Each structure stands twice: as C-alpha cells, then as structure tokens.
Structure 1
Amino acid sequence: WTPVRANVVNVYDMDSTFFRSLSSSYLQYSYMTHVDIGGGINAYYTSNTATNPKETYFYIRFSGNVAGNMLNMLDPMLKQNKAGQSLILDVPYAQYARGELQLVRTTFFSNSPEVSLAARIAGGMGYAYGNSSALPLEQRFYAGGANSLRGWQSRTVGPGMAPLDSAFTIPNQTGDLRLEANLELRFPIYSIIKGAFFVDAGNIWELPHYTYDKSHIDNEDAILTWNKLLKSSALSWGVGLRLDLSMLVIRLDMGVKEYDPAAQAWRTPGQWFKRDGFTLHFGVGYPF
C-alpha cells in the first residue's frame, strides 16, 4: 500500500512539429508537463511460494492507484490555465484512476511432470476525469514485446485497429484499456534446455474522450466496442527456447503474427517468416 506518492513529469524541449503531428488532441494532453499526486495499492497471492514450482499452482496480481482527488478539493483556491485546468505551481495536476489485474495458472501433468501448460488472463483500465482529459503517458497501457503479444515488438500494436502513428520514430502505441490472454505449453528438450509453444491474443484500446470544450476527437478505429472486440484483437503464435538454470531462466522466443487488426487481415504461411511477419525476443524469466 502506498498512501501518498508524488511525481512531477516535466516534458521539456518538445519539438513543436512533433507535438502538432500527434494523431489527436487527446494524445497531446498525454504529452504535457503535469503533477501526479495520489496513492495506490499492490496485491499478490500465490498458491505455491517455491522459487521454481514443480506442482500445479496459480497466482493473482493486482495494482490500482488514483491521483488528483485530494488536490481537487483545493480547486477554489487554485488558478487555472486557458484550458480550464487547475494549477499547482503553474503546472496542471493529473486526475485519474487506474487498475490492472493478472490471473495465471500453471498446470503440471502427473504422467509427464516436466511438461506444463501456463495460461494467463490480464486486463487493465485507466480513466482520466476532473482536471485531466487524458491519462498521463506513463500511466497508459501498451502491448507487444517479450511478455505480451510476442508477434509484435513492444508498443507497435494497437490501439484497436488503428495503424502505427507516423509521428513517432520509435513506435509508442498506447491506450486506456488492455485485454490479453496467453497460453504456453512448456516441455523439456535436453538437460537444461527447454522448449515452448505459445499463443497470444489481445490488444490495447482507447475509451471515448472529449476535450475540455467537449469537441469530439476520437479515432473510431482505436475505440473498444464489444461488437468489434474480436476484429480489433491481435493474434500471434510462436516457439521458444529456454535455458533453465533453476534459479534463473534465460529465453528466446520467436513470435509470428497471425492476425493483424490494423490491416484487418490474417497472415498466410508465406508471410509468416518475411521481415515483418515475425519478431524475436530475448528475456529473463518466464513471461508469466
């Protein structure tokens, strides 16, 4: 439990051309200097406390935090900027709530104790309100990478069916909401060398947003709608090698794109191993 935390995020020396090129005014709010004062909680429970469990177990991990509510009570005494945001030392404070949950179960098979099936369901959502129209950039969700949708590099997928934002030299796709499911079959190969087959599905999305003057600025392709959930979810599969040193696991995963929501297209076997068809990831420890 963190009763009070305080951060000042100073976005300095931002190129004005880059700022104007962001795909929406909503994203521009995420890149502004702000004060983040609030509190949070982290909770973790596991049915097996061993460092390297060899029996079926599950764990639950939750984190949640809120910011800006105490400062909001001081609003009558604070001055405001042109956008109507209240300021602390001439800097707007962030106001939002954010939560994240992971459920993981690893099943070991009695007839093959070295073989296990790990499954994860993960989700998170953040909502800006009051003094903020967008989550701060550091509080937004992303997908892809060694512990997420392994067919994509980190931050290169989503939100929803939206394409990559050309404003970024280094991809930085983010969203307000994340839903993901993963399945991984782990098995021995030889001695300390292990293998894995995996499937990852999910994405990040944005919630509907309005600016302070209530003008609509949403990218419809990025917003989560339940009737388009499957169509806007990414799907990848792959294989992995693990070097199991008992106290440490070093892994190499190759994730292959199967369904790309930005292109709204399934990849064919002829596309799997082309330059943009797969991604390699090095990691330490299991992805979940």
Structure 2
Amino acid sequence: MNELSKSLDVITAEINSYKQVAGQSLFEIGKRLQHVKENDLAHGEWESWLKSIDLVPQTARKFIQAYEQFGNRAMSSDLPTGKLFEMLSLPETVDREEFIKQVHVIPSTGETKSVDEMTVKELREVKKSLNDAKKEKELAEQRAKSAEFELRNANNEKAKFERMWKEEKDKPTQVITEIKKEVVTPDDYEELQKQAFLAQKLNNEVVLLKRAANDMRAQYEDKLTTQNKKDSSTRELQKYLSEQLRALTMNHDSAILNYKIIQGDREAHEIVMKFLSKYEEIIKRQVAEWDELTSLKAVK
C-alpha cells in the first residue's frame, strides 16, 4: 500500500483529481478521506476542510464506508456509485463480495438478477428483504431467549417449593399422648398444601414453555429451509429457460442462414414446411403445458 502524504494540500489535490475519474476513484477518495480523518490532518477543522473541497460530511462518510466495505474487491469498481452507496447498509453478516457475485430474487417481480443487472430500486428491494429477514431472526432469537428465561425461573420456583415440601414432609409427626394420643395436624398444613399445588402448577407451566420454545425453533428453521429451497428453484428455473431461449435462437439463426443459401430448391422447401408443421405442434403443446401449470396455483 502506497504511503499517503502528510500534506493536506497534496491530499486535497489528489481527491479533486480522482473525482474526475469513474469507478476506482470512489475508493481512492474514500481512502484519502479516511486518512485525513484518522490522522487529523485538518487539525480539528474536518467539516470546514470538507466544505473547501465541496463535500458534505454525510457524503464523505459514504465514501469512507464504500472504501472500507468494497475497496479491496475487484468486482466493485465496475458498479455505479448509486449501487455501492445502496449496499453500504446491507446487514453486517452479508459477505459483500459474495453478494455481488450471486443472483438474487426481486421480491416484487420474482425475477432473479445479479447486482450488475438490477436497478437501484430493485437492489433496494433485495436489501430490505435481507434486513427484514435479519430482524425476524433476531426477534425469534429474543423470543426463544425469553422462553428459556421463563423456563429457568419456573424450574427454580418448582425446585424451591419441592424442597420446602420435602422438609415439611420429613418432620416428625406431632402426637399428643396425654389427651387422645392422636396425630395433630401441623398449623401450616393448609399453607403447605397450597405450596404443593403451586409446585405442580409450575411444573405444568415448565412443560408448556418447553413445548412452546421447541415449536418456535422448529417453525423458524422450517421457514429458513423453505425460503432457501424457493430461492434455489427460482434461480434454476431462470437459468434453464434462459438457456432454452438462447439455444432456440442460435439454432433458428443457423437454419435461416442455410436456407438462404439454397432458397428456391424444392427439397429444401419441403423440409422447411414439414419442420414448420411439427414446430407449430410442439410449441402449442408446450404453451398448453405452461398454461396448465401456471393456472393450477396462483402466484404469490
């Protein structure tokens, strides 16, 4: 890595120069802005210096974040500034390089596109979907933790009452021998009965909480698995249909070229007419199959 200048004037000139260059200049500007800010080259006058090079703090912060998140990734320099800035707020768990390489499902249309093929609006949809999934996961984890906390409290209360009940149960029976030699009920017998009832109630609640926690985990894992399968199938469908159209177009162009060479030949004419008849039959059958499939289930 080249050593950056310690002179504010030199860095100012470099930034103004890189502002005229597309692509990599975004990261070069961010790199120098970060250097100035971290080393306090503007001597406490950061915002004033930004104003002198016609940058507002919010934009400067985006340049720095773009350099930090995408500066070392070769594919990023081909993307426009708007898309790079839009991807700054992706969840921290999302690998930036993998995100750029992969194709993603557009929520509003169901299409699969790479970042390079998306509009900024479509990229914003995909990002929102990821952020929503992250929030949903965090909420599910919080609910699971709350259920586990309640479960521990219930277990503690249960153990406490069971211990109290055992202590009372193991005490010697009080007998009055001078009067009727009968067992005397302890003064706190009713209280102990209430405590035993409460212990049993807590035990039942523990069972219900365990069951609820397990159900929440199972539902969340099932939802993730279903979504992953859906995304994979959508990508495969897009791939196969695109390959079919591409192959059809290439074969059609080749056939047209050959026919033009021998156009007017009777045998060639008969071959083409037989093909068109068979081709029309195949196309009608395939269209009918797609119509039937797409009408069986409404698109969600």
Q: Same fold (TM over 0.5)?
A: no
Higher percent of residues as helix = 2
Per the normalisation by structure 1, the TM-score is: 0.25
Per the normalisation by structure 2, the TM-score is: 0.24
Higher relative contact order (CA 8 A, sep 6+): 1
Larger Rg: 2
